[in-house]
Amino acid sequence: MKKLILLFIIAISFGGCKKAIEKAQENLVIQAMTDGQWAITNFVHNGNNITTDFSVYKFKYYSNKKVDAIKNGVLEKTGDWDGDPYTMTTSASFPSPPYPLILINGSWHIDDNGWTFVVASQTVGTETKTMRLDKQ
């Protein structure tokens, strides 16, 4: 009986450690996103490179899952963002966004990433988009 109780305690401890590790990883992702501003350095929409449409924008992410779109140094729009490191997805939602911010809305698959960049893609029906964000 003592062995069974000991195994049960060990199992619970490891389960708690796994959750703590997952939370620490999630906190690192949020810290990386919220430290500094980001710029879209490449955006391709249905095969057309429209990166210059985003050249006046910087994005500031916050730990409360808000994101500011800053145009030429002035706040233009605040939206919501989310990210899931386990499914390699991120999302953005700007309410009533002007062009080109409307192109960012929705769920994106993270194709590649590091501490200072994210490459993501989105396909909805026949529409395809890819973008790269770099920390400034």
Mean pLDDT of all residues belonging to the chain: 86
Residue 7 pLDDT > 50: no
Q: Give 77-136 pLDDT, tens digit per residue.
A: 999 999 888 889 999 999 999 999 999 999 999 999 988 999 999 999 999 999 999 999
Q: Taking the complete model, does pTM exceed 0.85, yes or no?
A: no
Helix (H), strand (E), coil (C) string for the chain: CHHHHHHHHHHHHHHHHHHHHHHHHHHHHHHHHHCCEEEEEEEEECCEECHHHHCCEEEEECCCCEEEEEECCEEEEEEEEEEECCCCEEEEECCCCCCCHHHCCEEEEEEEEECCEEEEEEEECCEEEEEEEEEC
Residue 21: the pLDDT is 52
Residue 43 pLDDT > 80: yes
* 2-135: CATH class: mainly beta
* Domain ranges (residues) in the chain: 2-135
